[in-house]
C-alpha cells in the first residue's frame, strides 16, 4: 500500500471549504504524476496501482474525505480509479443535539462545547451547524450524486460523541444506494487507536480486509 497524506490549511485563518480544495488539489496531483511522463514522480509511477485507489480519512479527515469523494465525481481522474472510500469515525455535527452528544457531553476526548467551538471556527462565516459541510443530512437533495460514490467502509465506536451522526451518515449512504460496510463496536471512543495498540491493529485489519 502507498499512502499519500494530505497537508491542508487550518482554520480559523482558512475556513471551509479551503480544506476540501486542498484535498482535491492533492488528488489531482496524484493523477498528474501518472500522466506527466517527464516530471511525474517516478516512485509513484513505478510502484503504485492507480487502478485501485481509495479515499480515506479519520475524524475531521473523514469529513474531508467524504467531501473529496463527492468532488472527485466532477473530474476526469483517468487513469486513476477510485475503488472505494474509508471513513473512520467521521466527524459531523448539527444544531439539534443527538443522544450520543447528550450522553457524552463532557467527554474528555470530544466534549460537545469544544466540538461546537471547532465548528464555529471552521465553518464559513454566517452559516450554522446545519450547513451541509457539518451536517451530512444536508446532502439529501444530492442523493443521486452521493449514490455514485461506490463502496464505502464506515467505522465507529459506541463511546464516541459523534456516534449518532455517524450512523445517520451510514443511513444517508444506504438510502442513496451506496454499497456500505458499517463496522460499529459498542466498546471504544474517539481516537482509541492512539492509546490502545490492539485497537490500532484491529483498525488496520478492517481496512486491509476492505481493500483486499
- Is the per-residue pLDDT at 130 higher than 80? yes
Residues contacting 181, CB < 8 A, separation 6+: 151, 152, 153, 154, 210
Within a domain: 9: no
Residue 11 counted as domain residue = no
The active-site residue out of 58, 160, 162, 164 is 160
Q: What's the CATH code of the domain at 172?
A: 3.40.50.1820
Domain presence at residue 124: yes
Mean pLDDT score, 131-152:
93
Is residue 7 in some structural domain? no
Among this protein's residues, is 160 annotated catalytic? yes
> For the segment 54-70, what is each residue's pLDDT rounded down to a tens digit?
999 999 999 999 999 99
Is 5 tagged catalytic? no
14 an active-site residue?
no
When divided into structural domains, the chain yields a total of 1
Q: Structure pTM?
A: 0.95
152-209 per-position pLDDT tens digit: 999 999 999 999 999 999 999 999 999 999 999 999 999 999 999 999 999 999 999 9
In terms of residue numbers, what domain contains 206? Answer: 18-211
Catalytic member of 59, 83, 116, 196: 59
Q: Determine the 3-state secondary structure of 2 from DSSP.
A: coil
- Quick one: which H or E segment has residue 85? strand 82-88
In a domain, 67, yes or no: yes
Does residue 79 form part of some domain?
yes
Residue 37 has pLDDT above 80, yes or no: no
Measured CA distances, 130 to 15, 113, 163, 167 (Å)? 16, 16, 17, 17
Amino acid at each position: 500500500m502507498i499512502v499519500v497524506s494530505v497537508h491542508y490549511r487550518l482554520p480559523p485563518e482558512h475556513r471551509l471549504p479551503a480544506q476540501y480544495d486542498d484535498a482535491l488539489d492533492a488528488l489531482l496531483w496524484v493523477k498528474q504524476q501518472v500522466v506527466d511522463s517527464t516530471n511525474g514522480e517516478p516512485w509513484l509511477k513505478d510502484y503504485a496501482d492507480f487502478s485501485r485507489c481509495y479515499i480515506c480519512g479519520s475524524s475531521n479527515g473523514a469529513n474531508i474525505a467524504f467531501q473529496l469523494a463527492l468532488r472527485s465525481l466532477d473530474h476526469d481522474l483517468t487513469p486513476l480509479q477510485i475503488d472505494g472510500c474509508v471513513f473512520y469515525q467521521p466527524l459531523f455535527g448539527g444544531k439539534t443535539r443527538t443522544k450520543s452528544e447528550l450522553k457524552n457531553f463532557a467527554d474528555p476526548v470530544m466534549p460537545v462545547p469544544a466540538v461546537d467551538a471547532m465548528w464555529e471556527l471552521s465553518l464559513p462565516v454566517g452559516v450554522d451547524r446545519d450547513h451541509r459541510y457539518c451536517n451530512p443530512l444536508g446532502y439529501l437533495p444530492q442523493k443521486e450524486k452521493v449514490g455514485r460514490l461506490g463502496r464505502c467502509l464506515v467505522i465507529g465506536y459506541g463511546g464516541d460523541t459523534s456516534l449518532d451522526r455517524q450512523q445517520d451518515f451510514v443511513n444517508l449512504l444506504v438510502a442513496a444506494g451506496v454499497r456500505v460496510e458499517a463496522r460499529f463496536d459498542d466498546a471504544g471512543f474517539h481516537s482509541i487507536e492512539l492509546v490502545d495498540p490492539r485497537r490500532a491493529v484491529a483498525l488496520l485489519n478492517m481496512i486491509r480486509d476492505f481493500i483486499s
